[in-house]
Amino acid sequence: MKTENQKAWFFVLPVLILVAFNALIPMMTVVNYSVQETFGNNQFFWEGLTWFEQILRSERFHAALGRQFLFTGLILAIEVPLGIAIALSMPRSGPWVPVCLVLMALPMLIPWNVVGAMWNIFALPDIGLLGYFVNHTLGIDYDMTQNPLAAWVTIITMDVWHWTSLVVLLSYAGLVSIPDAYYQAAKIDGASNWSVFRYIQLPKMKNVLTIAILLRFMDSFNIYTEPFVLTGGGPGNSTTLLSIDLVKIALGQFDLGPAAAMSLIYFAITLFVSWLFYTLMTKDDLN
């Protein structure tokens, strides 16, 4: 349709101003650092795209990015099906509903650094309940401070414990919004439980699942506090995810230029993958 006048711009103006203040202006600082070099004293030297090139070619960045994708991929692969399964097994009505909902919401109410500290102590082989149990009762060698695999198992388990609830609650909201008539119709058709899930529940949950996957992707891709408190990125660099590496560069080494460039690349990847997810998952509706 042809644009009749430009009035609509005035209606989006407040949003533009808001976005400018909470996103664009702070981000310009980062953009500013990403193309300059500073040695303090408020002196800046133009560097162009040097930092971007350096980061994109850096093996350290590639490794952190790989770990980041592995982490996000693993937790999505576990939390989404697990969340749906738990939501499916929750009662749809009755006195147990509020109990289940509160139990589900509890992990999400705990502050991130507390979660990290909790799991750190929980998993310690000598004093932690989990660590002691696995090492001494099960007899499996498990020490997340020494063994990279143990560290990975711990951060994945921690994230699953902390965030599966989000998928559960969103899926559950989608499930309870399905009228009984659909279940009755399926029963009358003689449909199996799998068909009911595949042809009624899953399509009806699709919108909330899209949101759940997007939120879980963004949160887990930008995760910092919990693994930092739990493993500090170790042992070695084995659990140094992107944000942990970024903070090391920015505050540990005080390389502001490369850190700024890395931030922007990080941001671009998050944005691109989110867009990709969203487009793929809503493709069906647009046709």
Binding region for other proteins (CB under 8 A):
179, 181-182, 184-185, 187-192, 195, 199-200, 203-204, 284
Shortest Cβ 198–other proteins spacing (Å): 9
In angstroms, rounded to a whole number, what is the distance separating the alpha carbons of residues 233 and 228?
6
Instruction: Give the nearer residue to other proteins in terms of CB position, either 128 or 174.
Output: 174
User: What are the structure tokens assigned to 87, written together?
Assistant: 């939501």
Q: Which is nearer to other proteins, 1 or 181 (CB)?
A: 181
- 147 or 207, CB closer to other proteins? 207
Nearest approach, Cβ of 182 to other proteins (angstroms)? 6
User: CA-CA distance, 56 to 269, in Å (whole number)?
Assistant: 12
Question: What backbone torsions phi and psi does residue 94 show, to the nearest 5 degrees?
Answer: 110, 180
Angle between helices 256-286 and 50-57 (to 10 degrees): 70
Minimal distance in Å, beta carbon 200 to other proteins?
A: 7
| Residues 106, 275: Cα–Cα separation, whole Å | 30
Task: Report whether 244 contacts 61 (CB < 8 A).
Answer: no
Q: How far is the CB of 106 from other proteins (least distance, A)?
A: 31
Query: Taking the CB of residue 167, how many other CB atoms lie within 10 A of it?
Result: 28
Is the Cβ of residue 208 or residue 260 nearer to other proteins in the bound state?
208
Q: How far is the CB of 207 from other proteins (least distance, A)?
A: 11
Minimum Å gap between C-beta 187 and other proteins is 4
Query: Helices (H), strands (E): how many in the chain?
Result: 14, 2
- Which bin fits 5, alpha (ψ -120 to 50), beta or left (φ > 0)? beta
Nearer to other proteins, 63 or 200 (CB): 200
| Cα–chain center distance at 78 | 13
Least distance CB 179 / other proteins (angstroms): 6
Comparing CB distances to other proteins, the nearer of 69 and 183 is 183
Nearer to other proteins, 42 or 93 (CB): 93
Smallest gap from Cβ 280 to other proteins, in A, equals 16
Whichever of 62 and 198 has its CB closer to other proteins, that residue is 198
Q: Which residue spans within the chain are E strands per DSSP? A: 36-38, 44-46
Site of tokens 């101003």: 17
Q: Are 116 and 226 in contact (CB under 8 A)?
A: yes
Contact 135, 142 (CB under 8 A): yes
Query: Measured between alpha carbons, how far is 154 from 178 in angstroms, rounded to an integer?
Result: 37
